[in-house]
Amino acid sequence: MKKNTASLGGNLLLLLTAFIWGVAFVAQKSGGAELGALTFNGVRSLIGCGALCAAIPLLDKLGLSHRCDTPTQRKALWTGGLLCGLALFSATNLQQLGLLYTTVGKGGFITALYIVLVPLLGLFFRRRVPLLTWLGVLLAVVGLYLLCGRGETGINIGDLLVLVCALLFAVQIMLVSHYAPLVDGVRLSCIQFLVVGVLNIPLMFCFEQPSLAAIADNWMSVLYAGVLSSGVAYTLQIIAQRRTNPTAASLLMSLESVFAVLAGWVLLGDKLAVAELVGCGLMFAAVLLAQLPPVKGKERSYG
């Protein structure tokens, strides 16, 4: 009974995490349009880093995070944080730029392709891909065509930027999966957000015109993306995944794409044509297929 209760609690926390991330697409679109993609991303990342740093002492006391005391752990922590930060820097900036030219709903669903791309990238490391994943890839390609190629807006530069961002998110996820077992996940995330923020500072001054007044005017979007989307949601994910099996966790977190569409519809008035809605459905089905475990007795893989 206690195990079932803990699992249910973990599932609810992951559902809340997906909701926070989905609504964050609205904050990213509005905040990025007002401040500039580089400025918004840099400020939110530094705020996210600060929020996690503030939470670390409490998480240590609760046993949800731990210090990395040995030289090997510290080396892995900073190496992993730097590499994850570089991947996240590239992915989030492309996502921010892409959201300037595409809708929140489309951006959310295209970004969700990272769940399909992760096992595909594993082919380069000789990780075999189950047949269900290949079926998911096929559905995703068809869904992406319907969503971006046949809809009212057609395919545009924003869709392509977000598609590349999904690939980079897949790289970042693979890096995290490698380094997270070696070090503390909260500290790893904190360092990667620090890297993103530091790298964005010179770029935003070179290519944009950041100002404290503009940041203050868009404080709600910046704080939501920084504190809730980066700091709180990531911490919830860590806590929840201690109570939920990986397959259920991935399925629940993939619902961020659904929440992104709903948030864009409710808060921004974004509308999707019938073909685009069908594309959304196919892409979500692809995300689900990519997370299903191989059927026992039919474990043949390809690649």
Query: Which residue from 207, 174, 173, 169 is spatially nearest to 42, judged by alpha carbons?
Result: 207
Domain boundaries, the chain: 2-292
- One-character DSSP codes across 163-180: HHHHHHHHHHHHHHHHHT
- Phi-psi group of 213: left, alpha or beta (phi > 0 → left; psi -120 to 50 → alpha; rest → beta): alpha
224-247 pLDDT per residue, tens: 999 998 888 877 776 776 666 565
Q: What span, in angstroms and rounded, lies between the C-alpha atoms of 77 and 96? A: 27
Helix (H) or strand (E) holding 192, with range, is helix 185-207
What is the per-residue pLDDT across 114-160, written as a single tens digit (0 to 9) for each? 777 877 787 777 777 677 777 877 887 787 777 665 555 567 888 89
Does residue 74 carry a pLDDT above 80? yes
Please tell me the predicted confidence (pLDDT) of residue 271.
Answer: 74
Model confidence band, residue 96 (pLDDT cutoffs 50, 70, 90): confident
CA distance 264 to 66: 38
Which residues share a beta bridge with 302? 129
- Whole-prediction pTM: 0.79
pLDDT digits (tens, 9 = 90+) for 164-173: 999 998 888 8
Of the candidates 187, 182, 208, 180, the one whose C-alpha atom is nearest the C-alpha of residue 93 is: 208
Residue 112, pLDDT > 90, answer: no
- From 159, 136, 157, select the one nearest 282 (Cα to Cα): 136
Distance in angstroms (rounded) separating the CA atoms of residues 169 and 111 = 8
pLDDT of residue 301: 47
pLDDT of residue 300: 46
